[in-house]
Structure 1
Amino acid sequence: MPYIQLNENLPGITGLLDYRLDTALPIRQLTHILLRGESSLTEGERELIATVVSHGNNCTFCTAAHTAAANAYLPDPSLAEQVKSDITTAAVSEKMKALLTIAKTVGKSGRLVTPEMIQTAREQGATDRELHDTVLIAALFSLYNRYVDGLATVTPDEPAFYDRLGSILQKKGYLPSEDRYAGLVQ
């Protein structure tokens, strides 16, 4: 049961964003820029970053939501499961492995990122922009994970819920709209 009064039909961060629309807008805008805006990383790769960080932070809602969003973008839906299980053996590029390793590390503490991690990512072709965005996405999702779990938001058990949410995130992105969650609750 959530620690504050939230719309019971909007679980996880969706209820929190609905609770404070004034804080929700900049949160949504930043998330949309980072996960759907212009980038040399694909939307699926950026969703994998969110997935790995949320999984490392043991945030069930965010892990399931961003796994579903990654699956909506990626040609192989097992990739999200692979990176959650073991980044080093996942069927992603070496550059992506290096970036995901950095992201997972930032999820614990930014101070744990080493020059060697950065150098490895650069050697695999990561640009300064990709390094910047990876760290910012990881930091942002660490905030979201603590926000969702710190207020004990509702976390649905049904995989179908997350499939619907992943589809909404793929089709509508992260910006607010009147009908944003029309297909979420069934």
Structure 2
Amino acid sequence: MPHIAIPSQLPGIVGLMATKPQSGHQLSALAEQLLRGDSPLSHGERELIAAYVSSLNGTRFCTSSHSAAAAHTLGGDYPTVEAVKHDLATAPVSEKLRALLRLAGKVQASGLAVTAEDIEAARSLGADDETIHDTVLIAAAFCMFNRYVDGLAAITPEDPALYDKIGEMLAAKGYANLSG
């Protein structure tokens, strides 16, 4: 049960953003920029970073919805999304993306956990400053989004089919109008 009243029993972060539309609009605009704005990372790679960080944080709503969005954005590739969350070391992703996901995992643990070696590992595989910047910012933002959802005990449905629909909608329409 949510810790605050949620309008219309909307699930996850959408319900929380609807309780305070002014900040909700800013949060949805931030998600739109991070996950769909200009970046050397593809939409699918950015959704995968969001899903991975959310998984590490144990935030079921965000993990499920961004896993589905990543899969839809990556052409329906649910097995790769699941592999990344369950065993990054053997997941079928490029070495560059694996290094970026490791970097995101370091950010999830603590920004101070990121080392020069982590950055160099990503650079040696072709990541430029903008790619590294975007990876770190997405990871940091999803720590905030995850804590918002969990800290207010947002409505978290159980039905996997619902998350697939949410992911399909996010992949197609984005985040700009989530707050209503």
Give the TM-score taking structure 2 as reference length: 0.96
Deviations 1:129-171 (A, max 9, x none): 0100000000000001100000011110001110110011011
Letter in 2 for 1:63: T
Letter in 1 for 2:33: I
Shift of 1:9: 3.2
Aligned residue for 1:40, secondary structure, equals: coil
Spell out the pairing of 1:37-186 with structure 2 (5 A cutoff): 37-75=37-75, 76-176=77-177
Task: Between the two structures, name the one with larger relative contact order (CA 8 Å, sep ≥ 6).
Answer: 2
Shift of 1:117: 0.7
Letter in 1 for 2:119: I
Aligned counterparts of 1:29 and 1:152: Cα–Cα separation in 2 = 22
Deviations 1:7-34 (A, max 9, x none): 2431110101111110011111111111
Deviations 1:14-73 (A, max 9, x none): 101111110011111111111001112111100000011000000011000100000101
Contact 2:9-2:155 at 8 Å conserved across structures: no
Q: CA RMSD in A?
A: 1.3
Aligned counterparts of 1:17 and 1:45: Cα–Cα separation in 2 = 25
* Structure 1 gap ranges (5+): 181-186
Give the stretch that moved more between structures: 69-78 or 169-178.
Answer: 169-178
Give the TM-score taking structure 1 as reference length: 0.93
Change in Cα spacing, 1:176 to 1:84, as seen in structure 2 (3 Å) is: same
Shift of 1:88: 1.5
Aligned counterparts of 1:60 and 1:172: Cα–Cα separation in 2 = 22
Ranges of 4+ aligned residues in structure 1 off by more than 2 Å: none
1:34 and 2:34 are equivalent in the alignment = yes
Aligned counterparts of 1:165 and 1:135: Cα–Cα separation in 2 = 25
Aligned counterparts of 2:53 and 2:165: Cα–Cα separation in 1 = 21
Aligned residue for 1:87, secondary structure, equals: coil
Letter in 2 for 1:52: Y
* Structure 2 gap ranges (5+): none
Aligned residue for 1:32, secondary structure, equals: helix
Aligned identity (percent) is 50
